[in-house]
Amino acid sequence: MAQVASIIGGGVIGGGWAARFLLSGWDVQVFDPDPEAERKIGEVLANARRSLPGLSDVALPDEGRLSFHSDLAEALKGASWIQESVPERLELKHKVFADIQALCDPAAVIGSSTSGLKPSELQQGVARPEQIVVTHPFNPVYLLPLVELVGSAANTPERMAGAKSTLERLGMFPLHVRKEIDAHIADRLLEAVWREALWLVKDDVATTEEIDEAIRMGFGLRWAQMGLFDTYRVAGGEAGMKHFMAQFGPCLQSPWTKLTDVPEFTDELVDLIAGQSDAQSGHMSIREMERQRDDNLVGILRALKAQGWGAGAVLGAQDARLKAGSDLAGYAEEMVDVSRPIVTVRRAVPLDWTDYNGHMNESRYLQSFCDASDRFMELVGCDADYIASGGSYFTAETHIRHLAEALAGDRIEVRTHLLMGEGKKMHLLHTMYRGEEPVATGEHMLIHVSLETRRPSAPSARIEANMARITAAQAELPRPEGVGRYIGAPR
């Protein structure tokens, strides 16, 4: 049975939380008096369905059930996690918490998305202060892993550990802020940059676009994968951080910044910044900008995942959790029904797999079928240990047929039919499906080789026995359409 999350407040952040929970397999119940809430969250979800599954190289859980409620009691029914994302007014949050605690399960976690308020402030005057914690995410919540987890003396270590575990299972990175402080950690850093940027615009040193270029063309790229201190450690060269601080520390005494001085927020300053911002990116709608942002983030995050670095390491750990909990887990061949084509891949199409036509690039079909061959090899015994011992399969010939389009966010599944497996040869037919619609087929002939001589060789007795068993089990299956077909041959 799916776990239930209640989302109280369905704005940009609340909608992002709804998407994160929903696409992680939770049922989501939304309470928001805004008559446009369902439309707004629907648009956020459309972006999330297109982008979030593509961060993973294994299938996400089946999507949960989404519902909208005008009655708070119905929205809270059965919820083990309640996420509050109402406007940043303490008196409003206190009223919302009082209403929630009068109706919810006392064991449920109540997380607040507050970007600046301390948990002890949120807990003042409530019935169960230990139930409320700060869980401050970053937009878009469905893609960015960071969530600042902040508690007070009222929160037990067990409750904090439970909240941390739930957030990790959502694929997030809960950063435990050990001491209460206004604006936590990340927003204090953002505020410093924001203040300095306001001065640069006000003093006509730079435009909004020039400031954005300075960040996205330079240190923003370094920060994305190394953060601040590791970046400066590298900048210190072989001598490291001490050298960097000795070299640049005196600059802190120079009047480079105005961090302790805040420009007056006059109408003129607001108009100046808003006008420059409109000139910079006003040619795009907000939804278009969101989709472009998501495309860029997915590309960056997947690149980091390939290196197992920074936020990418969090994605890799989530993939491992999802794989361990899926029906593709485990390599024991006796666990798999071999009497029918075997599911060897189940995943979503990532954004960076698509081309200028808006559908999956040809090379990614081959990658999916290569992944399917690798999985089938594991099932028959040609796993990592076997390959390390000196034996493997090389692909000798491949033929791919494209039957339908696969688009970003589509969930695809590859089912593998062993056409022949004897001696040194393995003849596979992979069929890619979207639901039950065939999208493509890949016919492959693989040859067993010795990695020492790089020449064909006989596989182990275990592999031969497993292939014989699967061949016999699939012997009565109808021959797949398209087998043996070459370019230009009639169907």
DSSP secondary structure letters along 104-164: S-TTSEEEE--SS--HHHHTTT-S-GGGEEEEEE-SSTTT--EEEEE--TTS-HHHHHHHH
Q: Which residue positions form the known binding site for NAD(+)?
A: 9-14
Determine the Cα–Cα distance for residues 97 and 123; give it in Å rounded to an integer. Answer: 9
**CA nearest neighbour of 396 among 448, 442, 446:** 446
Determine the Cα–Cα distance for residues 185 and 277; give it in Å rounded to an integer. Answer: 27
- Residue 466 burial by Cβ neighbours in a 10 Å radius (0-12, 13-18, 19+): buried
Q: Which two tokens stand for residue 121?
A: 């402030």
Strand-pair partners of 456: 449
**CA nearest neighbour of 318 among 299, 302, 332:** 302
Phi, psi of 444, rounded to the nearest 5 degrees: -135, 135
Helix, strand, coil % in the chain, rounded to nearest 5: 45, 20, 35
Determine the Cα–Cα distance for residues 158 and 156; give it in Å rounded to an integer. Answer: 5
Q: Is the peptide bond before 174 cis (omega within 30 degrees of 0)?
A: no
Starting from the edge strand earliest in sequence, which strands make up the sheet with 132-137, in order? 66-69, 27-31, 4-8, 81-84, 109-112, 132-137, 146-150, 173-177
Q: Which residue positions form the known binding site?
A: 9-14
Whose tokens are 């003042």? That residue is 124
